[in-house]
Structure 1
Amino acid sequence: MDKITHEMRLAKWTTIVRECNNSGLPKKEWCAANEVDNKQFFYWQRRVREEVFQEVKNIVPLETAFAELQAPVCNSAIHTRPDSVLNVGNYTLEINNTISKELLQTLMQVISHAQ
């Protein structure tokens, strides 16, 4: 098949596949309503997808690159004293002044539901 024939067929198939996709109908229903053979439609769809994949593959190189990232330093040996200690039932909650209001509210809700 020459290049012009291939491009014309591909353009026709692309239009049909887009119409089906934009219809909102299941593909088989759309095919029945538009008198398109199911097998033929799925063949066209596969060919359109293959062509698009080849175009994208030619544009975007398929090279994998890795970047080394430094792991965050976690010094568990540092102990800070809590600014507040709340005893609620069997639970003890040690809190620093840096806690957000939202987190404190969430913790209190969790503790109240756990009792």
Structure 2
Amino acid sequence: MNTKLATSRIRTGQWADIIKDCKRSGLKVDDYCAQHGLSRNAYFYWLRKVKETALTQSGFVEVRQQVELSSCYPSPKLTASVNEVVLGIDENTPMDLLANVIKVLKNA
């Protein structure tokens, strides 16, 4: 392992420890940073870098994509929007399924 990679891993580990400590403290990020003499910008930079490293090491990559389903399914008779989710409802939608989906979305 080269020196640059080893240094990067050590630094990322230190940042991860700080982020975990902040979470465990129960303090808001601004309060935690003030108490520990840290820059808020540095904290969020570290948080981003730790997340990027975790995603890279796990082999997972965050993908954000808007999917348009209208071409796959017939047009619904009614649409209901709960939070940021839009439900397409027609006469074949089981009412118990609809009620459970809405309950879950309200609590999400």
Structure 1 residue 57 displacement after superposition: 2.1
Distance 2:5 2:57 in 1: 15
Residues 1:41 and 2:43 are matched in the alignment: yes
Q: Give the match's secondary structure for 1:42.
A: helix
- Listed one character per residue, the Cα deviations across residues 50-106 of structure 1 (whole Å, up to 9, x for unaligned) are 111112226x9x9xxxxxxxxxxxxxxxxxxxxxxxxxxxxxxxxxxxxxxxxxxxx
Tell me the equivalent position of 1:26. 28
Distance 1:53 1:7 in 2: 14
Identity of aligned residues (%): 28
- Aligned ranges for residues 76-87 of structure 1 at < 5 Å? none
Q: Which has the higher contact order (CA 8 A, sep 6+)?
A: 2
Tell me the equivalent position of 1:5. 7
Q: Which amino acid aligns with 1:20?
A: C
Q: Give the match's secondary structure for 1:2.
A: helix
Tell me the equivalent position of 2:75. none
Cα RMSD for the two superposed structures: 2.1
Q: Give the match's secondary structure for 2:59.
A: helix
Higher radius of gyration, 1 or 2: 1
Q: Which amino acid aligns with 1:12?
A: Q
Tell me the equivalent position of 1:51. 53
Distance 1:16 1:26 in 2: 13
The count of corresponding residues between Structure 1 and Structure 2 is 60
Runs of 4+ in 1 over 2 A off after TM superposition: none
Distance 2:27 2:15 in 1: 18
Structure 1 residue 37 displacement after superposition: 0.6
Q: Give the match's secondary structure for 2:38.
A: coil
